[in-house]
Amino acid sequence: MGHRESLPNCCRNEKIQPRGTWTQVGQQRLTSGELLLYSSHEEENAPHTQGVALMLSKQAQNALIGWESHGPRIIKASFKTKKEGITMNIIQCYAPTNDYNEDAKDQF
């Protein structure tokens, strides 16, 4: 089983939806039915570092208004809510850890 296909099983078992490090920016429907939105380095041959993803259930997909990549560390998705006129924004980020240099942490 590939990394993308094992991710839904892991997240369902742990009841966690945001996960991951990826390369490139895009979306992919998994064979399990979930939709994976991912944001990372946009350059080809970029390192497998940083990167964020959101895995959406079918219910979340139905409520999805749109999503945006904000570089290799931030992804934002907007969802309709049951309350008319109210939009819910989910922002997933990957912050630099303490072992990064001070410039990287300050830039974040």
Query: Average pLDDT for residues 74-90, to the nearest whole number?
Result: 94
Least confident of 39-48, 67-76, 83-92: 39-48
Token duo for residue 71 = 């570089």
Burial of 95 (0-12, 13-18, 19+ CB in 10 A): exposed
pLDDT by residue (tens digit) across 12-25?
554 444 444 455 78
Could you state, in order of their start, the residue ranges of all structural domains in the chain?
3-107
Task: Look at residue 18 in the predicted model and tell me its pLDDT.
Answer: 46
Query: Average pLDDT for residues 31-59, to the nearest whole number?
Result: 79
Q: What is the pTM of this model?
A: 0.67
Query: Average pLDDT for residues 87-100, to the nearest whole number?
Result: 88
